[in-house]
């Protein structure tokens, strides 16, 4: 089981940048797996609480049904376009993938509540000169890695 605090301990500066992107906007996007195996994209709110990444689903919502059946998910921060002429200032975007662990059920007034067992964290941004796309990713087994692309 890998919690957000494990990412923070392993790579504090990387985790700070990723969290800032997730905290910058209230709404995120989550990908779940439909019963037939296809993807489902849904809007969601997610928070970092006490070293955990947590999110919920209203009682009966399809994303919660998906996660109860197949817990794999991918969560994406809000995406903003780089400002023309100031591309180097673009903060990028972040993604967190893992398995949703049900911590309370839809029998509660506010629906299902999950916390993330994290398998991958990604930060995509530009280099300081805004000439290369930089992809940094962290996994529990591989640590932090980096690739640059033109």
pLDDT per position as a tens digit, 84-106: 999 999 999 999 999 999 997 65
Residue spans per domain, the chain: 4-149
Half-sphere exposure in the Cβ direction for 38 (13 Å, CA): 4
Pairing outcome for strands 27-33 and 52-57: unpaired
Domain 4-149: CATH superfamily, name plus number: Electron Transport, Fmn-binding Protein; Chain A (2.30.110.10)
Give the H/E segment covering residue 43.
strand 39-49
| pTM (2 d.p.) | 0.94
> Would you say residue 25 has pLDDT above 70?
yes
pLDDT at residue 14, as a whole number: 98
pLDDT at residue 104, as a whole number: 78
> Would you say residue 63 has pLDDT above 80?
yes
Among 119, 126, 124, smallest CA distance to 142 is for 119
């Amino acid at each position: 089981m890998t919690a957000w605090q494990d990412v923070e301990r392993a790579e504090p500066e990387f985790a700070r940048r990723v969290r800032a992107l997730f905290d910058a906007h209230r709404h995120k996007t989550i990908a779940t797996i439909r019963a037939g195996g296809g993807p489902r994209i849904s809007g969601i709110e997610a928070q970092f609480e006490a070293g955990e990444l947590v999110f919920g689903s209203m009682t009966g919502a399809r994303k919660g049904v998906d996660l109860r059946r197949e817990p794999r998910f991918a969560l994406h921060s809000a995406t903003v376009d780089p400002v023309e002429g100031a591309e180097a200032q673009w903060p990028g975007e972040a993604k967190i993938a893992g398995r949703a662990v049900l911590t309370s059920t839809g029998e509660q007034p506010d629906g299902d509540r999950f916390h993330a067992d994290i398998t991958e964290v990604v930060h995509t941004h530009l280099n300081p000169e805004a000439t290369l796309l930089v992809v940094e990713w962290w996994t529990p087994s591989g640590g932090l890695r980096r690739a640059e692309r033109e």
